[in-house]
Amino acid sequence: MHGAFAGAWCWDEYFLPYFAARGYDAWAVDLRGHGAGAMVDDFASVDDYVADVLCAATDIGERPVLLGHSMGAIVVQRALSRLQAAAMALLAPVPLQGLLGSSLRLAANCPETFNEMNKLQFSPASPTSPDLLARAIFSPHLPAVAVRRHLRRMQPESHRALYDLSWPQHFLIARSAIPVRVFGAGDDQLFPPQAIEETARLHGAVTEIIPDLAHAMMLDANWEHAAERVADWLEELQA
């Protein structure tokens, strides 16, 4: 499941072809208010996004492996108590403490980047600095042309969903009874490794911090490192 400001397109670029080539049936879902031509639904809650996941799982008709990035990692964790899944992989998940702490840390350490992210949310028509936004979500290895292409497709997120994510998530997420693996990005400027490890501890899962990757793990220059680790883990489960 995609994260905030994105859509199913973030998986289309690399992950879907990669997993198809490794023999997996893979689907990417646009949460309501996301995707090409969609109007942002400012009243859409995280519970609404969970309902979208449940609907998609019903359409698939078999026990899926859930893959969630950032906000999408919270969504699939909260959906897990209401659907039967085979396994769950979380990429750079929003911390269990919520977004508020991460936002305050970004504002204190990188105020210019924090301002640019706010402009993406509140003033999407205003010019933004690709360099500043790129520092928050991409590594320096990603070519500028790719950064601009990805940023052009990003969109404001539901205000209600961001509000829901600002607060602690512990009481809304149950410890999983299925295999879980949590993957963090070594160069993530938003969510530090200790926050990633807290999510893993909740599920009794292993944490893997993948070097040379920033927050947008599925789009970064070394995206294949993340895709390979997820696929290798799934194959380990089948062995």
65, part of any domain: yes
Q: Does residue 127 carry a pLDDT above 60?
A: no
Q: Are 27 and 65 in contact (CB under 8 A)?
A: no
For residues 31 and 56, what is the distance between their CA atoms, to the nearest angstrom?
Answer: 10
140, part of any domain: yes
* 78-124 confidence digits (pLDDT tens): 999 999 999 999 999 999 999 998 888 888 888 887 887 887 887 66
CATH code for the domain of 202: 3.40.50.1820
* 20-51 confidence digits (pLDDT tens): 999 999 999 999 999 988 888 999 999 999 99
32, part of any domain: yes
21, part of any domain: yes
Q: Are 210 and 217 in contact (CB under 8 A)?
A: yes
130, part of any domain: yes
Residue with token string 């008709």: 61
Give the burial class of 123: count Cβ atoms within 10 A of its Cβ; 0-12 exposed, 13-18 middle, 19 or more buried.
exposed
Number of domains in the chain: 1
22, part of any domain: yes
Structural domain of 21: 9-238
187, part of any domain: yes
**41: CB partners within 8 A, 6+ apart:** 32, 33, 48, 158
For residues 64 and 81, what is the distance between their CA atoms, to the nearest angstrom?
Answer: 14
State the DSSP code for 226: H
**5: CB partners within 8 A, 6+ apart:** 120, 121, 154, 155, 156, 157
- Label residue 128 by pLDDT band (50, 70, 90): low
Distances (CA, A) of 216 to 25, 114, 196: 22, 16, 15
Q: Is the pTM of this model over 0.75?
A: yes
167, part of any domain: yes
The continuous run of DSSP H or E covering 44 comes out as none
* 208-224 confidence digits (pLDDT tens): 999 999 999 999 999 99
Q: Are 4 and 71 in contact (CB under 8 A)?
A: yes
pLDDT of 164 reads 97
